[in-house]
Amino acid sequence: MKLQEELEEFIRNGHKQFMSHLSIDCVIFGYHDKQLKVLLAKYAHLNGWGFPGGFILKEETLTQAAARILKERTALGNIFLQQFYTFGDNDDRIHSWGSKFFTPEFKQEFGENNWLTQRMVSIGYYALIEFSKAEIKPDILYDEFSWYPVTGLPQLLFDHNEMAEKALSTMRNQLYLQPIGYNLLPEKFTLPEIQVLYETILGKELHRRNFPNKLMSLGILIKLDEKRNIGQHRSPYLYKFDLEKYEQALSKGVALAF
Per CB under 8 A, the list member of 1, 121, 230, 243 interacting with a copy of itself is: 121
If one asks whether residue 255 binds a copy of itself (CB under 8 A), the answer comes out as yes
The dihedrals phi and psi of 123, each to the nearest 5 degrees, come to -95, 120
Is residue 101 left, alpha or beta, with left meaning phi > 0 and alpha meaning psi from -120 to 50?
alpha
- Applying CB under 8 A, among 34, 58, 71, 223 the residue interacting with a copy of itself is 58
Position 85 contacts a copy of itself (CB under 8 A): yes
Residue number with CB closer to a copy of itself (32 or 166): 166
Q: Can you tell me which of 42, 46, 60, 139 binds a copy of itself, judged by CB under 8 A?
A: 60
In DSSP notation, 149-198 reads EGGG--PPSTTHHHHHHHHHHHHHHHTTTS---TTTS-SSB-HHHHHHHH
Output the smallest distance, CB 25 to a copy of itself, in A. 13
Is residue 83 near a copy of itself by the rule CB under 8 A? yes
CA distances from residue 232 to 143, 190, 227 in whole angstroms, order as listed: 50, 17, 13
Strand-pair category, 48-50 with 221-227: unpaired
Binding mask 133-172 for a copy of itself (x = CB under 8 A): ----------------------------------------
Count of alpha carbons within 13 Å of 175, Cβ hemisphere only? 23
Binding site for a copy of itself (CB under 8 A): 19-22, 56, 58-63, 83, 85-86, 88-91, 94, 119, 121, 123, 173, 176-177, 214, 253, 255-258
